[in-house]
Amino acid sequence: MRSLWRTLDRELARDIGLVCLADGVVGISFGAIAVSSGFPLWLPMLLSLLVFAGAAQFMFVGIVASGGNPVAAVLAGLLVNARHVPFGFAIGDVLGRGWARRMLGSHLMIDETVAFALAQQEADRRRAAYWVCGAALFVCWNVGVVIGGIGGAAVADPGVFGLDAAFPAVLLALLLPSLRDPASRRAALAGVAVALATAPFLPAGLPVLLALAGVLAGLGRDGVSPEPKQEASA
């Protein structure tokens, strides 16, 4: 790990530190929300150690806390993390060789670590950015969850501090960059419409899964018109 730190320059190390700070704050909010929603402290801690995927963890806690089926909550979390499949192809070279190293590297594969790795041009810097960012974020996230969970036990309503807004804020932050693409905007709007239309009639969690049907609205190609058929010359 010390050699990896030496590979990073001061600017990159500063950027990783700022992301870790922000991630720790989100971890505090997750721990507080989970415990104040009735979950025992060990559950958000266990999720953070074994899952280590903020959006999926927020999704699981939010659905179950609102009365949804735990199976639906797990499926929703898996679907949120489906984006990790192309991530693995994009940064597979930084994980190294050996099944143990690749398993550990896959566990640290989140949006931030992938973004930092892909932003580097040199192979050594890509590897260093990925592993340092992943290890630091893992520690900051889990420490934040413990702090938030302990604090959440003493807070009856997380809405007093605005912590109840953390879950939709995190998902919105993940979604916003992709909305530059017209197809993504169509898919997002269609998904929102499906979720809003079905929420009054279905158990919590199912509208989120059905909203994935909005992906079909983004399958069309923009700005491509069919070529006119050429008439056969006489």
Q: What is the pLDDT of residues 61-103, one digit of tens each?
A: 888 887 778 888 888 788 778 877 888 888 888 887 788 888 8
Separation of alpha carbons 75 and 209, rounded Å: 8
The 10s digit of each residue's pLDDT in 168-223 is 665 566 566 667 778 777 877 887 888 788 877 766 556 666 776 766 666 655 44
The end-to-end CA distance of the chain, in Å, is 75
DSSP string, 179-233: GGSHHHHHHHHHHHHHHHHHTTTS-TTHHHHHGGGGGGGG-SPTT--PPPPPPPP
Average pLDDT, the chain: 77
| In the chain, domain spans | 2-159
- The torsion angles phi and psi of 155, rounded to 5 degrees, stand at -110, 120
Provide the whole-model pTM: 0.69
The per-residue pLDDT for 44 is 92
Q: Scan for tokens 């320059």, then name that residue.
A: 9
The per-residue pLDDT for 224 is 41
